[in-house]
Structure 1
Amino acid sequence: MKPRGNLRSLFWATAVLITGIAYRIYLHDAFSLIFGFGRVIQPIGDFPWDCKRIHHPLLEGCEDIWLDYNNRKLYGACTSVTSRTGWNPGGNLYNLSARSRTDHISVLNIDEPGPDGLYGLHQLKIDYAGDLDLHGFDVHQVGDRQRFWLINHRPPVDPATGEPLDPTKVGANSTIEIFDLDAPSNTLVHVKTIASEALVSPNNLAVDRDGLGFLVANDHNTKVGMFRDLGMIFGDGSLAYCRSDTGKCNLVATEGCSFPNGVVRGRDGLFYVFHSSAGVITVHKSTENGIIEIEKIPLHVPADNLSVDKEGNIVVAAIPHPYGFMRAADDPYNRVAAAGVLMVRKQDQRNDQSGRGNYEVIKVIEDRDAEFLPTSTVAVHDSQTHRLFLAGGFSPFLSICQRRTER
């Protein structure tokens, strides 16, 4: 009996050792990032900002926002939060009956608050035959019009019969919808639909300098699956590069992705991609053969979308308390999560294409007690007026913060 006992002890000792090694190699960093071991979250009073919340149905569930610096307008891809918490394929939520079918692009005139303090809030008309289930988006000037690239998580249908399919089995029929803004009529006019197998689970996108190519962040490797949720811990996903003119998309990065989420093209022409389960931004350079990674910028905190301000700084919507974020996402009308904003500054803006080792990460604001900021998924910075605009896919309001002048 004693030899068998020794073997049993040896087995359990080996199992514990292997588990410990696996945790250290594969899980330690992810758990530390997600649960924030030792992370200090500061109250908003520590920062020189005065913030306010704006409540309106048109400002609910704004997963992504984009600031037109020249025309002084803020655009948001919005829906009701009840719709977002029911139909959100990237988050494995496939309740078709929860869809509001009222997704829209909201607009604020950021320098004209008006007597009601709603900044002339309105929504764009959309010339499109189908429904929109919006997520991330980007805008680029093409000729004399602004062109919008919108991620649309459409419910799946049988391509032969048009009959609805079960999204829990096949996932969403995610596409990129391209629109041109007809400013006089305040209408988005549909230009083209981009559909491709490379659009596995698109979360956000960034348009290239030529206004034709665009980089898409797929936050998962699959549309559905039993272990798909574990991608947030173990890391998966991919990057796809598409062409607006040909409608073709190709996967350009499948290795080294860790739940790629926010993506922007910097004013230096480089692409910046945030990987949520690694807490890092990867920097990519376009080449004739696709894109190559040239740098990693560690943030050491979970985050969602990225934006770029007029000075070329990368603005990050940080999620310092992920568990609180998940609780708020489940009950958005009654809970708000701690939020923050980071800014990534390139030390030498003239060094356009190197991207190597010359970045500074700054904590701009943090709201530990969720007093003023939304359960944020995106933040933009208006360097002209020193304001921050923050919104959230799981928030029923938008926040505006004005930087206090030093005396």
Structure 2
Amino acid sequence: MAQNFRGPRAIVWAVIALATGIFYQAILHNIIFDTIGIGREIQPIDDFPWSCNRLRHPLIEGCEDIWLDSEGRKLYATCTSLDTRMAWCPGGNKYNISARSRTDHIAVLDIDQPGSNGLYGLRQLKIGGYQDYLDLVGFDVRRIKGQLRFWLVNHRPPIDQATGEFLDASVVGANSTVEIFDLNDNTETLEYVKTIASDAILTPNNLAVEEDGLAFVVTNDHNKKVGKFRDLEMLFGGGSLTYCRSDTGKCYIAAKEGFSFANGIVRDKNGLYYVAHSVTGHITIHKMVNGQLLKIDEIHTGYPLDNLSLDTDGNLIAAAFPDPIVSRKSLTDPYNFTSPATVLAVNKIARQIKERGGKNTEVLKIVEDRDAKSLPSATIAVHDAESRRLILAGIFSPFITICEHI
């Protein structure tokens, strides 16, 4: 009689073993070796040909994203106080509205003129014609008819439209929008153009704008603004891409499958979008086809990723976290603790994708700082191809770093 149960029982155990194997290969293996980085070798910065200098000033702390104007030779950064970052950061489930300093700003540096104090003429842009406070994270810039136009991800707190009072953001989430400004070079003032608000701009992290400024793509890093199981998306995937028009203000979800905390995004001159997946360490390549952003290829970097940038030579630069467990400490004590950082590069990425495909693309480690001697807890790195310098900043860093190639 007992033998009658051996068949079904064996099948059950076989199914369990198969499911366990699939879970390990699909999720657990990636988490252990790529996300957590068990067994990963982290190198000291002295192994790399860079001389790095930290720049400290209240105007350049908490800078989540930076953008280099190679033509105008200026660096722009979206920054705020670290106290604000630790209190109000919807992407990191921080919803203390009352602790916002309301001092978010865009810092600007003259990148070729360090000056006597070594701060590169640091100042902040003025804001004109905008009646609210900015809560800034990612952004992109395009030169339109000789003038710089800024697209800014703005994590505004939610407000009751009837009373004007703040709502509980931990319940309803942030009232996130994209704000468009034009820069008046004569007065260094950002002049308000318009606000893009849409249900499809769900949990925006960063964005990439087309060359003519008419359309842009937003990365949503989660599937939901808030929720009890929101953090589980770090295990099972989450995020999407939203396509918007600057002229009409219309937006819609253009890709929603296969994301694992969609983070940084850039667009190349061929119309391809590169998207960083923070959890898996993948960079997916997307192309607009019949109104949808289809994934056409994928690069595996082996590191958890944050923001991406493209230099003028067509090289893709990625800020990465070599030890994400240690990195979490910098989120709670950023003034006193800096985590290790890594910068990866895919040289001539468009050509490599065309000739080799994503699986055979060469990913280079161009600098790493195991001991956190010089680099910030970086969420963005840009490469100035003209001067061969690297510039790094971090959303929870009290400084930015400029590295000279030696």
1:352 to 1:27, Cα distance in 2 relative to 1, 3 A: closer
1:288 to 1:143, Cα distance in 2 relative to 1, 3 A: farther
In structure 2, distance between residues paired with 1:339 and 1:350:
25
* Alignment match, 1:149: 151
Question: Counterparts in 2 of 1:376-387, with a 5 A limit?
Answer: 376-387=378-389
* Alignment match, 1:222: 224
* Alignment match, 2:199: 197
Aligned length: 401
- 1:106 and 2:107 matched: yes
TM-score computed with the length of structure 2 as normaliser: 0.93
* Alignment match, 2:59: 58
* Alignment match, 1:169: 171
1:348 to 1:241, Cα distance in 2 relative to 1, 3 A: closer
1:347 to 1:258, Cα distance in 2 relative to 1, 3 A: closer
In structure 2, distance between residues paired with 1:234 and 1:107:
39
Does structure 2 retain, via aligned residues, the 8 Å contact 1:201–1:219?
yes
Give the C-alpha shift of residue 288 in structure 1.
Answer: 4.1
Give the C-alpha shift of residue 353 in structure 1.
Answer: 11
In structure 2, distance between residues paired with 1:116 and 1:124:
20
> SS at 1:26's partner residue?
helix
Residue among 283, 298, 305 paired with 1:281: 283
Instruction: Between 279-288 and 386-395, report the one with greater CA deviation.
Output: 279-288
Does structure 1 retain, via aligned residues, the 8 Å contact 2:66–2:75?
yes
Code of the aligned partner of 1:82 = D
Alignment root-mean-square deviation, CA: 2.5
Q: Gaps (5+ residues) in structure 1?
A: none
In structure 1, distance between residues paired with 2:184 and 2:382:
24
In structure 1, distance between residues paired with 2:264 and 2:197:
20
In structure 1, distance between residues paired with 2:381 and 2:341:
10
Code of the aligned partner of 1:315 = I
* Alignment match, 1:360: 362
Q: Gaps (5+ residues) in structure 2?
A: none
TM-score computed with the length of structure 1 as normaliser: 0.93
Give the C-alpha shift of residue 98 in structure 1.
Answer: 2.0
* Alignment match, 1:213: 215
Does structure 2 retain, via aligned residues, the 8 Å contact 1:346–1:358?
no
Does structure 2 retain, via aligned residues, the 8 Å contact 1:67–1:380?
yes
> SS at 2:186's partner residue?
helix
Does structure 2 retain, via aligned residues, the 8 Å contact 1:27–1:234?
no
* Alignment match, 1:394: 396
Give the C-alpha shift of residue 350 in structure 1.
Answer: 9.8
* Alignment match, 1:324: 326
Identity %: 56
Does structure 1 retain, via aligned residues, the 8 Å contact 2:274–2:284?
yes
Instruction: Between 74-83 and 290-299, report the one with greater CA deviation.
Output: 290-299
> SS at 1:85's partner residue?
helix
Question: Counterparts in 2 of 1:249-260, with a 5 A limit?
Answer: 249-260=251-262
Instruction: Between 95-104 and 27-36, report the one with greater CA deviation.
Output: 27-36
- 1:72 and 2:41 matched: no
> SS at 2:347's partner residue?
strand
In structure 2, distance between residues paired with 1:324 and 1:61:
18
> SS at 2:228's partner residue?
coil
> SS at 1:371's partner residue?
coil
Give the C-alpha shift of residue 355 in structure 1.
Answer: 6.4
Residue among 298, 314, 318 paired with 2:316: 314
> SS at 2:29's partner residue?
helix
Give the C-alpha shift of residue 114 in structure 1.
Answer: 0.3
In structure 2, distance between residues paired with 1:262 and 1:140:
17
Code of the aligned partner of 2:123 = H
Instruction: Between 287-296 and 365-374, report the one with greater CA deviation.
Output: 287-296
1:294 to 1:10, Cα distance in 2 relative to 1, 3 A: closer
* Alignment match, 1:264: 266
> SS at 2:362's partner residue?
strand
Code of the aligned partner of 1:158 = D
> SS at 1:61's partner residue?
coil
Give the C-alpha shift of residue 356 in structure 1.
Answer: 5.8
